[in-house]
């Protein structure tokens, strides 16, 4: 497997939804590829953050769902109702055998009972950590196996993938973890722009600052890079930030970003930037950037040429 294929399957891998062969091939790739292992760790942290918001239904709701399910199955196997059931009505509209509808009916009863219990349960959480009282949830279900038991019941194995909506302030740990994950979603540049923009005000956090540095240096979308640069502006005097700004100045193909970078670097005239500015003078074609670079070198009493 190549890196692109592996990263496309990471979410399914973390959920345990890959086949044995797919999982083995992915793990073999992870053993040899450090960047993909890093992406896998980020994916795990994302799912951990989501799990932290997961609500557990009361035990009585699950017990009631099971009782209702078994009662419905027993009644279908051992009794005939006076009126045709919904599934019998649907089956009568088709010409084929309706036996396949029984597992589907059982699964539908399970889903209705479970979500009915969840909708009846109210939640309140104080503080700023999570302001949503009852997060919206969408669940996708895939049946893996259906097996009838000798006593007339049906055993169903299925996978669930949940889509949830949470809300909170950006400095909440769970919200921040989700924003950091979204800031590196290579499939959606618009999502990255919004996420990096929201993370700007949290750049005092070391993990957020590292994410902004990574986006500024490596993201292929200039809008994302510009948002990251704006978030790093208060730290233009930091050595690591200055090194990244120097790389932007020398390599970024966006003149607007290079202009912002030279403005920030020349605010803090330090001798370690002399070589970078001299190199820039040999290759830069933008007149404004050349003028700022030349002025900075003269103020630092350095030659505008390299030797």
Quick one: 156 and 70 in the same domain? yes
How high is the pLDDT of residue 23? Answer: 84
Check whether 195 has a pLDDT greater than 50. yes
Quick one: 120 and 160 in the same domain? yes
Quick one: 242 and 288 in the same domain? yes
Q: DSSP label at 304? A: S
Kind of pairing between the strands at 137-148 and 154-164:
antiparallel
- Beta pairing partners, 160: 141
Quick one: 66 and 150 in the same domain? yes
pLDDT band of residue 98 (cuts 50, 70, 90) is very low
Quick one: 80 and 142 in the same domain? yes
- In terms of Cβ atoms closer than 10 Å to its own Cβ (0-12, 13-18, 19+), residue 126 is exposed
Structure-model confidence comparison of residues 274 and 49, the more confident one: 274
How high is the pLDDT of residue 210? Answer: 93
Concatenate the DSSP letters of all residues of 1-13 into one string.
--HHHHHHHHHHH
Quick one: 63 and 28 in the same domain? no
Specify the range with the lowest mean pLDDT, choosing from 46-55, 96-105, 227-236. Answer: 96-105
Check whether 274 has a pLDDT greater than 90. no
How many domains does the structure of the chain reveal? 4
Q: Where does a domain end: 135, 164, 193?
A: 164
pLDDT band of residue 103 (cuts 50, 70, 90) is low
How high is the pLDDT of residue 45? Answer: 79
- Tens digits of per-residue pLDDT, 204-243? 999 999 999 999 999 999 999 999 999 999 998 888 998 8
- Beta pairing partners, 159: 142
Alpha helices in 162-252 (DSSP H): 173-182, 189-199, 206-218, 222-232, 239-251
Quick one: 175 and 103 in the same domain? no
Q: How far apart are CA 210 and CA 216, in angstroms?
A: 10
Quick one: 209 and 242 in the same domain? no
The enclosing H or E element of 32 equals: helix 20-32
Q: Where does a domain end: 147, 164, 181?
A: 164
Q: Where does a domain end: 180, 210, 232?
A: 232
Domain that holds residue 171: 167-232
Quick one: 221 and 173 in the same domain? yes
């Amino acid at each position: 497997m190549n890196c692109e294929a592996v990263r496309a399957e990471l979410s399914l891998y973390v959920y345990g939804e890959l086949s044995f062969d797919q999982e083995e091939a992915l793990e073999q790739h992870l053993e040899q590829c450090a960047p993909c292992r890093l992406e896998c760790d980020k994916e795990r942290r994302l799912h951990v953050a989501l799990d932290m918001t997961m609500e557990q239904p009361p035990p009585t709701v699950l017990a009631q769902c099971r009782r209702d399910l078994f009662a419905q199955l027993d009644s279908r196997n051992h009794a005939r109702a006076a009126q045709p059931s919904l599934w019998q009505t649907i089956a009568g509209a088709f010409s084929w055998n309706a036996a396949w509808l029984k597992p589907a009916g059982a699964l539908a009863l399970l889903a209705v009972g479970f979500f009915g219990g969840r909708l009846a349960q109210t939640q309140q959480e104080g503080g700023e950590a999570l302001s949503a009282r009852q997060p919206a949830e969408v669940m996708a279900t895939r049946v893996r196996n259906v097996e009838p038991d000798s006593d007339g019941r049906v055993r169903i194995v299925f996978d669930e993938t949940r889509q949830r909506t949470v809300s909170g302030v950006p400095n909440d740990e769970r919200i921040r973890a989700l924003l950091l994950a979204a800031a590196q979603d290579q499939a959606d540049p618009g999502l990255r722009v919004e996420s990096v923009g929201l993370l700007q005000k949290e750049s005092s956090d070391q993990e957020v600052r590292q994410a902004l540095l990574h986006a500024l240096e490596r993201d292929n979308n200039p809008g994302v890079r510009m948002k990251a640069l704006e978030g790093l502006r208060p730290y233009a005097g930091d050595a690591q930030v200055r090194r990244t700004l120097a790389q932007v100045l020398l390599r970024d193909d966006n003149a607007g970003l290079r202009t912002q970078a030279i403005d920030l670097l020349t605010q803090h005239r330090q001798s370690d930037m002399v070589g970078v500015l001299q190199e820039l003078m040999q290759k830069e074609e933008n007149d404004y950037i050349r003028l700022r670079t030349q002025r900075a070198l003269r103020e630092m009493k350095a030659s505008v040429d390299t030797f």
